[in-house]
A and B are shown apart, each in its own frame.
Chain A
Amino acid sequence: MNLFNIFSEIEQSDPEIYDRLDNRRKAMKQFANVTGKVALASIPFALGSMFQKASASPTSPSDIIIDTLNFALTLEYLESEFYKKAVASGIIPAGNALSALTVIRDHEVAHVNFLKTAITQAGATPVSFTAASFDFTAKGTFPGVFSDYGTLLAVAQTFEDTGVRAYKGQAPNLISNNAYLTAALRIHSVEARHAAHLREMRKAHGSLVPAGVDVKPWITLNQSGIGSPAVQASYDGEENVTQAGVMITNIGGQQISAAAASEAFDEPLTKEQITAIVTPFFA
């Protein structure tokens, strides 16, 4: 999947890219805030930084924002094609379960359409995938993904929790563009709503939930709540209880367990980590 190597290519060819993007953002903020004649002196600096572009060689993309949106679109295709097949599988109980998965499918399809439109309107080319692009058994790891309801829910939960971590990791790449950043954040929280609901469904159904494990709408420590080591990479790191150097467990003299401290903050994953997780699902 060369697509997923885009960021590391940029980083390798231009190690200062993130610093410079920070500067662009900062410059735009300052430009917007600047008033009065004294501050006019800062305008050349602001303009120069605002229009500073990432290096554009023939093999590297010209805009990290487009690549971030295309990365998001790739993950949305993965999810939308998954739920299309899931809803059509005939193994989801009619009623609340089928309704919920249909709602989620519709959201994921809407995300694909939204991102395609956003990328096209930005003058770039959206990536494109079809049902045939994916192997939802993950090369045989989940053979029952569309024949066993418990497996289907487990894969769905993993996709949603992973999607939340992916958007969280990529959002800072969009900080220089308010419209794209806000849209990405609004998709991010929808994925979290999905994750919570699928976790409720798995708790109620009970299949593939290890003995003694309580599957909650939030992620406790690094527990997947799924009796398969194949999904563990999507949960590693969620046990973190230190945020920005602040220990959350029992913070401020409050009785906050390590479990609660880990649940209270979801953790991001890098593009490389996400890529490693989803690659088996590509045919």
Chain B
Amino acid sequence: MSDTESSKEELILANEGLEKAFSRRKFFGIMGAGTAIMVTAAACRKDHGGNMNGGVNLGSGDIGILNYAYALEQLEAAFYTAVIDTPYSGISTMEMSYLKDVRDHEVAHREFFKAALSTKAIQALEVNFSAIDFTSRTSVLGTAKAFEDLGVSAYNGAGQLLVDPGLLGLAGKIVSVEARHAALIRDLITPGSFGDMTAVDAMGLDLVRAPKEVLSIAGAYLKTKLNANNLPTS
């Protein structure tokens, strides 16, 4: 399939998958006026098409960003599912209760993206948690902190890459929950570290990372390779 054809196919599938999930007016507004130009632009960037670098292609445009979020939510959900299945030694009742909540939130996020993306969703990813000692509170909470801060920084960086304001609103609904998780996990490790200088800078601004940076960090925990080459960069 040529790049032009695959771009058209992608747009058509995107339409079918997202039509029920997002505002029809907004979505068709974007796709209607923009389709011809977007396809043309894609055709001019053959070097970015396909899976030439290998790995699961996240896709382009807003779909690509949603798949990027879906990948991160898969990682988080898999992690907390393992944490609850094999709790670390000495876990308190309160910690178990909080971590079960967090697992449920992340599973809900994962399933939401899967449903919203429908046929455009990437596959289920294989994780690699060999670096995590699930019996150790320090290892588990340290990883949880890294994942939550990473998630916050990823959503904060992805907002400007989205075109549809409705999708931006949806991402906003999730990122603040990730920030609540990050604050709690940090406080479990060191009370009062919810927003210390490793998370919030001198201007009072939270972490922000571009997809490439996020995926290079997340990649250490994923067996499945991801191809982010078609994601928007501005």
Seen from chain A, the residues whose Cβ lies within 8 Å of a Cβ on chain B are 18-19, 22-23, 25-26, 29-30, 32-36, 38-39, 42, 96, 99-100, 103-104, 106-111, 113-114, 164, 167-168, 171-172, 175, 178, 181-183, 185-197, 200, 216-218, 243-246, 248, 251-252, 254-257, 260-261, 263-268
Contact = CB atoms under 8 A, between A and B. Distances in A.
Interface residues of B, number: 70
19 contacts: A26-B163, A30-B41, A35-B45, A100-B194, A168-B169, A188-B176, A189-B207, A190-B204, A192-B176, A193-B180, A193-B199, A218-B105, A243-B170, A244-B166, A245-B21, A251-B111, A254-B107, A266-B172, A266-B173
B168 A175 contact: yes
A171 B206 contact: no
Interface string B182-212: 1110010001101110011011111110000
A252 B156 contact: no
Q: Decide if the interface of chain A is mainly helix, strand, loop or mixed.
A: helix
B22 to A, nearest CB: 6
Contacts of A255: 104
Contacts of B196: 103
A42 B37 CA distance: 7
A34 B114 CA distance: 30
Given A191-B176, A246-B21, 16 more contacts: A34-B41, A114-B205, A185-B172, A185-B208, A188-B175, A188-B206, A189-B206, A192-B179, A193-B206, A194-B194, A196-B181, A200-B187, A243-B173, A252-B114, A264-B104, A265-B108
B78 interface: no
A168 B172 contact: yes
Contacts of B180: 192-193, 195-196, 217-218
B176 A168 contact: yes
Given A193-B180, A251-B111, A30 B155 contact: no
B156 A248 contact: no
Contact of A187 (B159, B169, B178, B206): B206
Given A22-B29, A185-B175, A110 B202 contact: yes
Given A182-B156, A243-B112, A171 B44 contact: no
B112 A100 contact: no
Contacts of A181: 159-160, 168
A257 B45 contact: no
The 7 closest A-B pairs by CB, nearest first: A110-B204, A192-B179, A196-B183, A172-B165, A252-B111, A192-B176, A36-B44
Nearest to B204: A110
Nearest to B172: A168
Interface in B111-157: 111-112, 114-116, 152, 155-157
A36 B192 CA distance: 54
B176 A266 contact: yes
B204 A22 contact: no
Contacts of B21: 244-246
A103 B156 contact: no
A96 B192 contact: yes
A118 B127 CA distance: 42
A251 B112 contact: yes
Contact of B205 (A22, A187, A256): A187
B223 interface: no
A110 B200 CA distance: 11
B174 to A, nearest CB: 6
A251 to B, nearest CB: 4
B184 A196 contact: yes
Contact of B104 (A19, A30, A175, A260): A260
B192 A99 contact: yes
B163 A29 contact: yes
A193 B159 contact: no
B156 A185 contact: yes
A114 B203 contact: yes
B202 A103 contact: no
B187 A197 contact: yes
B112 A248 contact: yes
A87 B129 CA distance: 43
Contacts of A265: 108, 173-174, 177
Given A22-B29, A189-B175, A260-B108, A38 B40 contact: yes
